[in-house]
Copies of this chain bind each other. A is one copy, B any other.
Amino acid sequence: MQGMQGMPAGWTRRDFLMRFGTAAGSGAMYRAMGAMGLMAIPQAYAGAPKLATDSGRGLSVVIIGAGIGGLTAAYELGKAGYKCTLLEASGRAGGRNRTVRRGDTIREIDSEQVCDFDDEPHLYFNAGPARLPYHHVAILDYCRQFEVALEPFVNDNRGSYFHSTRAFGGKPIRGETIQTDTRGHLAELLAKASNKHALDDVMTADDAEMLRAMLKQWGDLDKDLLYKGSSRGGHIGDEILQAGQPRPPIDLHELLRSDFWQFQMEFAEGWEQHPTMMQPVGGMDGIVKGFVKAIGDGVILRNAPVTKLVNGDKNVRVTYLQDGKPHEIDADFCVNGAPAWLIKKLDHNFSRDYREALDKVHAAKLFKIAFQGKRRFWEEDDHIYGGISWTDQDILQMWYPPHGFHKKKGITLASYTWDPGKGEAWGRLTPAQRLTSAIQQAEKIHPGYGGMVEKGMSIAWAKIPYQMGCAPEWEDADRAVHFKRLQQPDRRHYLVGDQMSYVTGWQEGAVRSAHAVIEHIQQRVATTT
């Protein structure tokens, strides 16, 4: 990021551009900027590796885990003629891509919840991934291929709430208020600093003048460059038939104290979180259904947990159970999408550095609770259409469905938290206790919540058999060494999944890791035959 290759030492990027611009004209300057990565460069994604038809004829692959990584491998390798066998430990394909509907069961290691949401297409709960950023081009490409209909997902609804137990008197405040007032205060402070010439050493007088003009617009300051509130944050009284008055701003001190700037306020600015975000119509598992249909159902063996993995020079032998009985399968390659923390517990013969690297992958403990609203009170009472409310309580987030607006009922999240300690604590509660606790906290944001919801379902990913965690985590120091090791095969064994990417917890990582493995296998086959 910092390195500007080819620039004279001591030059700033601006020095470079200004001089380059002066010397060579603006066209040349901007070609240079393009080369330096300043310009809009569409994602360079050329699609899945192109494998020639029949390039895999006579070769076999055993794939472990029917998550998105395994499904991608089975689909792409299958198209090229590889004989694929996909061993799925659980009873369903999809891995963490999981949509819960009426009749579905969430089994944890010590509990079982059967979903009795009403039976309507919009009443579902994406228990795993729930959104697709516009630049996750590989998973989106499969949505296109499989004709999985997509619709916008709302992350940043300015009408939803920020709730702090230590600020604003414990009352929920709309996002538009928080965001607008923060912006206004920051703009006013910077304008003051500029007026006091505190920035004269870092910018020209012309730029300073433009800056102040910008700040006026940017923060909605008054003519004296003071922030007195902005209609962007809403109005007091009628604003339709009368001239609405902007609400007076929340004091900066109070905004600072609320602490939402730690990450919640910036959340929807993130690369993976800013618009346009999308979701499949009818549930995230539309993608899984697309893969399964394309792969052909015969390829997938369900309820077939792997117990042993003998990795050899010429083939790989995988032992799995079906109906409690062990079966063996030999294949030319093994593509493994099971979580690293479970793979390492198998009976295996991996090399030492590979084993050590597997040890460095840590499981996150994400937790979600969904309720069926008896009515869509968040729309009817609060005018909240999709998006997220934030709180400093353990539930962390409440989600409102970005679909099914104005229908009778809806599935709404009372909690989604990724804090490891809190995720673990939620997991220790029984499903019934979780619902009680979540309702108690949700009441602070939506008084009467408990009476307005029903049929709660929760999922503690750390307690889901054959998952025992999710969204793998790495220490930065480990990534440099051990991650690179795992990106290489151990003899004939390859790892896939979001764990093998820098975007853990996102399906894009699983797809792209599978593509890399496919490419590696393809080259290996091409060079050894």
Contacts and interface: CB of A to CB of B under 8 A. Distances in A.
A137 to B, nearest CB: 6
Given A2-B228, A169-B27, A405 B150 contact: yes
A443 interface: no
A256 to B, nearest CB: 4
A121 B157 CA distance: 28
Interface residues of A, number: 132
B265 A211 contact: no
A239 to B, nearest CB: 6
Contact of A173 (B39, B251, B405): B39
A242 B509 CA distance: 10
A429 interface: no
A516 B241 contact: yes
Nearest to A132: B385
Contact of A240 (B36, B265, B509): B509
B198 A202 contact: no
B266 A217 contact: yes
A412 interface: no
B218 A137 contact: no
A293 interface: no
Contacts of A256: 207, 210-211, 214
Given A33-B168, A169-B33, A276-B385, A1 B271 contact: no
A125 interface: no
Interface string A166-190: 0011111110110110110011011
A488 to B, nearest CB: 12
Nearest to A265: B218
A472 B183 CA distance: 31
B276 A157 contact: yes
B278 A244 contact: no
Interface of A: 1-2, 4, 13-14, 17, 26-27, 29-31, 33-34, 36-40, 42-43, 134-135, 137-138, 140, 143-144, 147, 149-154, 156-159, 161, 168-174, 176-177, 179-180, 182-183, 186-187, 189-190, 192-194, 196, 198-199, 202-203, 207, 210-211, 213-215, 217-218, 220, 228-229, 231-236, 239-253, 256-257, 261-263, 265-266, 269-271, 274-276, 278, 381-387, 402-403, 405-406, 479, 487, 500-503, 508-509, 512-513, 516
